[in-house]
Amino acid sequence: MTTYYLFGKEAIETYNLLEGIPESKIADVLKNIQHATFKHDNQTHPSELLSAYDGWGGYLVIPQTLYELL
């Protein structure tokens, strides 16, 4: 199973405010906010996920389509 993450407190707050808006428009807004994304699957070690998360102050599971837009 693959899970896609969005990291960054401001990015997550913005994502939550834009609920219901098309993902392409959400991606346009998020591209202007400091954030990181990560794809976790059977090929990645849990330590890679923890390393990607470290220092961002929050995470959110996002759809694959938004991950690919970002």
pLDDT at 47 (0 to 100): 87
pLDDT at 25 (0 to 100): 97
* 37: containing domain: 3-69
pLDDT at 55 (0 to 100): 85
Are the C-beta atoms of residues 15 and 65 closer than 8 Å to each other? no
What does the DSSP 8-state code read for residue 55?
T
pLDDT averaged over 10-residue windows placed end to end, the chain, 70 residues: 95 95 96 96 90 88 96
pLDDT at 39 (0 to 100): 95
Q: Which residues contact 55 (CB under 8 A, 6 or more apart)?
A: none
- For residue 52 the two structure tokens come to 């990607």
* Whole-angstrom distance, CA of residue 48 vs CA of residue 45: 5
pLDDT at 27 (0 to 100): 97
* Whole-angstrom distance, CA of residue 28 vs CA of residue 26: 5
Count of structural domains within the chain: 1
pTM above 0.85, yes or no: no
